[in-house]
Amino acid sequence: MTTRIPSKTLARKPFSASLLAGVLAAATFSAGCTNMVPNMDSLSLTPSPTERQDDPIVSALEGQPVAFVQEKLGLPNQRDDLPTGAMIWVYNDDAKGLNANSCKVSLSIRDGIVQRVSIQTHSASLVSAALSSCNRIRKDLS
């Protein structure tokens, strides 16, 4: 003897779009929370102050006396004297137009010698991102 199961029992109810969206959103949120970086500073595009950047500007300026920097680049756009006796000199090189780039070279100087060089660049468009930044500073150092 065979037992018949009513067809209503076999029919599946379709998932509603809102239920599916809610389940996916909850899964994405919970997965995202477990993978979040605990410190948002690590997401910065600014180079780490402890890592030496591989750039000809850094190689040309680190270890040089202040007189060399002034001879090649002139006076800085910004200068900060720190209470520790160190100085921070900042040189800006901004290009406008189609290849708009912003370049900021920061020098950490102690006892008249450049100790650290940090370069920060920002491109305003995809065209400018493909082109080299800091052109004026690179030219002045060569």
Domain ranges of the chain: 56-141
Under CATH, which number does the domain 56-141 receive? Answer: 3.30.1450
Q: What's the pLDDT score for residue 7?
A: 54
pTM of the predicted model, to two decimals?
0.59
Contact 72, 114 (CB under 8 A): no
Residue 18 above 50 pLDDT? yes
Angle at 110 between CA 115 and CA 79, to 5 degrees: 95
Q: Once rounded to an integer, what is the mean pLDDT over residues 99-125?
A: 87
Report helix, strand or coil for 109.
Answer: strand
Q: Once rounded to an integer, what is the mean pLDDT over residues 31-56?
A: 52
Type of residue numbered 84? T
Residue 19 above 80 pLDDT? no
Looking at per-residue confidence, does 6 or 112 come out higher? Answer: 112
